[in-house]
Structures are given as structure tokens and as C-alpha cells.
Amino acid sequence: MRALAVLLMLQGHTIHALLASEFRSMDSVLYSYWYAFRGYTAPIFMFTAGTVFSYLLFKSGAIELKNRRVRKGIRRALILLGIGYFLRFPTFKISQLAHITEEQWNIFFAVDALQLIAFGLLIIISVSILAQKIKVNSLIVLLFMTLVIFGSAGFVKSVEWINILPVVFASYLSDSYGSLFPLFPWLGYMFAGACFGLLLSRKDEIAKPKLALYVLLAACLLILLSFLLQLVNYSFFEASAKWLSSFSFSLWRLSIVLLINTVVIIGVSKIRELPGIVQLYGKHSLMIYVVHLIIIYGSAVIAGLTYVYGQSLTLLECLLVFVIMNIAIIGMCLLIEIIKNNKLSIATYINSIYRKIIPGVK
């Protein structure tokens, strides 16, 4: 699922950033379906992040600060926060710091996927520690948090947080200030994934066909609940209640994520071992995420493809960029695996390749 999320993200960002305007027509069946499905990439990514972390967390024993997995999760969250803000920093030249505009600072403070996941990890850890201390079932607490985040997202978004909080904090609560992934409702997908990860950690040996059936039933339940909320919305509110509509839509998206999980579980049950390339994408998802953002969107130190080809390529050219980028990413992942498995430093490895290419050079 994590590998699938990475691939969907790569192609989504590539086409969104580079496809020419004349091909972005909702009259096109291909583009309209791509546009609709692209909305599920982030929920899949967040859900999977929550699942993986929660599974490892609850398999590690007592949830407390001295737990190695807890400390590792906190450290990873801080790293994600650092990388997230690093990618958006407007300049690394001291001479230009005084000339950074308010708009550039707002872009820097905007919350992206990495900041969201970082806070998600910290909150999942905090909630799990609290639940264990007060002796409440962690699953009930995580499920309650999921529903609260989805249910209150419409209310939270309606508040003008910029009048109450500095923009750096307001950006975590609303997308009105440039954030792509504010905590509400996107954190809900991480908590939903955390619920799934917790269940998997308790039922590690459950048969995959049975697991697929449970996930499918959960997806059907969410679809039914989503439709009921919409029915209540249009039946009892003269003007459609935005908070109820938002709640319904979030549950609908989550149901689609669970349906995709069902398909993946059934597919995995038919094979003995995941292909190596799938394992690479899943294992190095963070690095792939960072590298592909720099390649496509650039950073303060390097211009990305958007600056050169921004919304000017045909669909075939976009797909070609996507293929070339994936080949480069796979090569990078393989290089890292080779270095890691052989316990070589990057400098040593590059030097050994250089000597093979040019014999006789020391």
C-alpha cells in the first residue's frame, strides 16, 4: 500500500505540475477520471503512514517514553518537520533574508504532507501513552479521535484562525492560508490507519481472505454512513450544513481507501513474496517523497522542472518524465541498498566505481 501510494503521488505531482493547460479539460474522460482519483492519493498515503507506525508501535510492548519505538517515532517526527520546512524555505542566502516577502513567508509556513505526518506521529504517541496510563482501550481512543477530527473539520475550517493565532499555527488548522494538508480533516486518515495498524498488531496471524472480508465490511459500513449523513444533511437543513457535508465526504474517501486495501490484501494473498521494486518503494518512501519534490518543484537552492516546463508538456511527455524520474529513483534506492548491505561509505563506493571505469587510477 505504501509503494502504491508513492507511485500514485509521483504520477499525480508530475502531471499536475507539467501538463499543459489545453489538456486540462473536464470534458476529457481520461483527465476527469484522473482528477477525481487523484483526490484519494493523500488519504491512501496518510492512512498507510498511520497503519505502519501504529503496527510497529503496538508490537513493541508497553507504550512509554523509554520504549525504543516511541523514541524513534519522536525523532522521526522532528526530522520530518525539519525536512518539511527546509523544502519550503524561501532562501538560504543570508543577504536575501531581509528581502523575503510576506507571501514567501506564508508559503514557508504552509503545512504540507511531511508536517502533517510529523504531528500525526506525535499525537498518536501522546494519545497512546495517555490511554495506557488511564487504562482505556487504545483502539476506542484512536477511533474516537478519528471521528472527532472528521466531524469537526467543517467547524474548524470556518473559523478565521489568522485573527486568533500567528500564521505558523493558523496554517495547521485551515487551508485558507496556503496549507495543502491542515490537521483537519487530514489527520483523521492517519488516525484511521492507526486503528487498522493496532488491530493488525493484535491479530498478526489472521488469514488474509478473512482480513479482506473485514476491511470490505468496514468500507461498506462507511459508505452507508456517508450516504446517511448526506441524507440527514439535505432533509433537515434548509441550507446544506458544510460541517456535515465535510464529515460525509471524509468518510466516503476513507471507504475508498479501505476498498483499495481490500484489493491489495487479496492480491498479496496470491503471491509468496512482494517484488523487489515494490519493497524498494515501500522501504524508501520518505526519501523518494523528498527527492521527487525537489526534482519537480525545486527548492531554495535548485530550480525544479516546474520552473522550466511548468504546465507546458503533452501527456506523453509527462509520462516520459515520470518514467525517467522513476528509473533514477530506483537506481538511487538500489545504490543505497548496495552501500548499506556492503557497509561502504558513499565516497568509498563511488571511488570503487571510478577505479573500475578508469583502470589504473588510484
The structural domains of the chain, with segments of one domain joined by +, span: 39-204
pTM for this structure? 0.85
Amino acid at 146: T
- Percent of the chain scored above 90 by pLDDT? 26
Mean pLDDT of the chain: 84
The cell for 115 is: 508536517
Local confidence band at 260 (pLDDT 50, 70, 90 cut-offs): very high
pLDDT score of 58: 87
Confidence bin at 311 (pLDDT 50/70/90): confident
- The mean per-residue pLDDT over the stretch 329-343 comes to 80
What was the pLDDT predicted at 238?
A: 60
Which pLDDT score is estimated for 232?
84
Integer Cα distance of 6 and 109 in angstroms: 24
- pLDDT score for 204: 62
Q: Please tell me which residue, 93 or 10, carries the higher pLDDT value.
A: 10
Q: Cβ contacts of residue 214 below 8 Å, gap of 6+?
A: none
Q: What tens digit of pLDDT does each residue of 143-157 get?
A: 999 999 998 888 888
Is residue 230 a contact partner of residue 215, using CB atoms and an 8 Å limit? no
Summarize the confidence of residues 59-85 as an average pLDDT. Answer: 86
In this model, does residue 185 exceed pLDDT 60?
yes
pLDDT higher than threshold 80 for residue 323: yes
User: What is the rounded average pLDDT of the residues 190-200?
Assistant: 92
List, in sequence order, the alpha helices (H) in the chain.
2-18, 29-38, 41-59, 68-88, 102-109, 113-133, 138-158, 167-170, 183-202, 208-236, 242-269, 276-283, 285-297, 305-309, 315-342, 346-357
Residue 106 C-alpha cell reads as 506564508
Mind listing the pLDDT tens digit for each residue in 125-146?
999 888 888 888 888 999 999 9
Q: Mind listing the pLDDT tens digit for each residue in 30-66?
A: 888 888 888 888 999 999 999 999 998 888 777 778 8
In this prediction, residue 361 has a pLDDT band, given cuts at 50, 70 and 90, of very low
Residue 97 pLDDT grade (very low, low, confident, very high; cuts 50, 70, 90): low
